[in-house]
Amino acid sequence: MFPINRPRRLRSTPQLRRMVQEVSLNASDLIYPLFAVPGESIAKEVVSMPGVYQLSVDKIVAEAKEVYDLGIPSIILFGIPDTKDTEATGAWHDCGIVQKAATAVKEAVPELVVIADTCLCEYTTHGHCGYLEVGDLTGKVLNDPTLELLKKTAVSQAKAGADIIAPSGMMDGFVQAIRQGLDEAGFENTPILSYAAKYASAYYGPFRDAAESAPQYGDRRTYQMDPANGREALKEVELDIAEGADMLMVKPALSYMDIIWRVKEITNLPVAAYNVSGEYSMIKAAALNGWIDEKKVALETLTSFKRAGADLILTYHAKDAVRWLNE
Ligand code: PBG
Ligand code: ZN
């Protein structure tokens, strides 16, 4: 009889398919990003991200409850401050918007794990992820002065109740600096989720609308990575591990599944993948046109991140995905 090998045998019924399924997507894999703005009763939809809103703190709290009730264990907070300046005061001030949101969420839903994105780009007038020399118009962020501001930001976020600190600015030595700052302030048990391999990606476009954080001049290529480089991601990851990172992130996810896989192969730390704004908007736009099946495409995408090695997925689809999984 030919052929002897018939892989289709194990695909012949739903029961068999379920038994041989290698990975599965669960609510507990997901982290939901939220954008906090000053004010009250504000829910402003982001034009390029249908279903995603800038929310005032009261609305963030309501959203946090909903997220927790769906079984999603964690949110990540981004902030849009009232005013921006060259020192990124809104990032590290104890009354900053992320600090306020973190405190309010922890008070209302203590079990929800609150991750604070730790970066300066939403808070600087120029929109870069760090400190620029006065008069600089090229966007060459000064590394070490930026570390001091990141340290202050992380400590203030931890004080406000953030459970995990997630530095996203791709500064050299930022994990070590933040670890030291947290330890000195008595937060030695607060984990760091490092955006270890973050690429200079055009897929961040819609996020910059949401966070109002587009660079005013220059670009982020002196700190974020070249999309052509894979080995360099492994170097970044090795350094972050040596500096004391507790979890590692690869960002974006869809065009970088090989990186997720390669990172997973060299570490036993949890690996997170950031399914970024542009990836979300592409699915949304096509679905709104009736060109693809949103539910199927989104679940397929998220499941393939698991297959590629991601333990955790940051995604704007999180709430929908859980509803679909529960159907
Ligand atoms: C910057 C930051 C970015 C995102 C989160 N924090 C990228 C950037 O503006 O360069 C992107 C997230 C997304 O696209 O969903 N620290
Ligand atoms: Zn940034």
| Alpha carbon of 205 to ligand 1 centroid (Å) | 8
| Residue 34: partners with Cβ closer than 8 Å, 6 or more residues away | 55, 60, 63, 64, 75, 76, 77, 78, 101
| Alpha carbon of 224 to ligand 2 centroid (Å) | 10
The first and second tokens of residue 233, run together, are 């991601």
In a domain, 113, yes or no: yes
| Alpha carbon of 66 to ligand 1 centroid (Å) | 24
Instruction: Spell out which residues have Cβ within 5 A of ligand 2, the ion.
Output: 119, 121, 129, 169
Q: Which residues pair with 222 in a beta bridge?
A: none
In a domain, 14, yes or no: no
Q: Tell me whether residue 284 is one of the annotated catalytic residues.
A: no
In a domain, 267, yes or no: yes
For residues 273 and 260, is the Cβ–Cβ distance under 8 A? Answer: yes
For residues 221 and 200, is the Cβ–Cβ distance under 8 A? Answer: yes
| DSSP state, residue 255 | G
The first and second tokens of residue 181, run together, are 């700052």
| Alpha carbon of 13 to ligand 1 centroid (Å) | 42
User: What is the domain-level CATH number for residue 238?
Assistant: 3.20.20.70
Catalytic residue among 59, 151, 251, 284: 251
For residues 205 and 234, is the Cβ–Cβ distance under 8 A? Answer: no
Instruction: Quickly list H helices, the chain.
Output: 14-20, 57-69, 89-92, 97-108, 143-159, 174-184, 205-211, 231-242, 257-266, 277-288, 294-308, 318-326
pLDDT tens string, the chain, 327 residues long: the values are 789 999 999 999 999 999 999 999 999 999 999 999 999 999 999 999 999 999 999 999 999 999 999 999 999 999 999 999 999 999 999 999 999 999 999 999 999 999 999 999 999 999 999 999 888 888 889 999 999 999 999 999 999 999 999 999 999 999 999 999 999 999 999 999 999 999 999 999 999 988 888 999 999 999 999 999 999 999 999 999 999 999 999 999 999 999 999 999 999 999 999 999 999 999 999 999 999 999 999 999 999 999 999 999 999 999 999 999 999
Q: Tell me whether residue 251 is one of the annotated catalytic residues.
A: yes
The first and second tokens of residue 237, run together, are 């990851």
In a domain, 152, yes or no: yes
Say whether the peptide bond before residue 38 is cis (omega within 30 degrees of 0): no
Interval 150-192: pLDDT, tens: 999 999 999 999 999 999 999 999 999 999 999 999 999 999 9
Task: Tell me phi and psi for residue 42, to 5 degrees.
Answer: -100, 130
Number of domains the chain is built from: 1
For residues 257 and 309, is the Cβ–Cβ distance under 8 A? Answer: no
Q: Is the CB of 213 under 6 A from ligand 1?
A: yes
Smallest CA separation from ligand 1 atom 6, residue = 168
| Dihedral sign from CA coordinates of 233, 238, 242, 244 | positive
Range of the domain at 94: 24-325
In a domain, 118, yes or no: yes
* Nearest ligand for residue 208 CA: 1
Q: Is the CB of 277 under 6 A from ligand 1?
A: yes
Residue 100 one-letter amino acid: K
In a domain, 3, yes or no: no
**What is the distance between the alpha carbons of residues 78 and 65, in angstroms, rounded to a whole number?**
17
For residues 72 and 32, is the Cβ–Cβ distance under 8 A? Answer: yes
**What is the distance between the alpha carbons of residues 327 and 103, in angstroms, rounded to a whole number?**
33
In a domain, 226, yes or no: yes
Query: Which is nearest to 80 in space by CA: 178, 214, 199?
Result: 214
In a domain, 1, yes or no: no
| Residue 325: partners with Cβ closer than 8 Å, 6 or more residues away | 25, 26, 27, 299
Interval 222-259: pLDDT, tens: 999 999 999 999 999 999 999 999 999 999 999 999 99
Q: How many CB atoms within 10 Å of residue 308?
A: 22
Catalytic residue among 84, 106, 152, 198: 198
**Which pLDDT belongs to residue 215?**
92
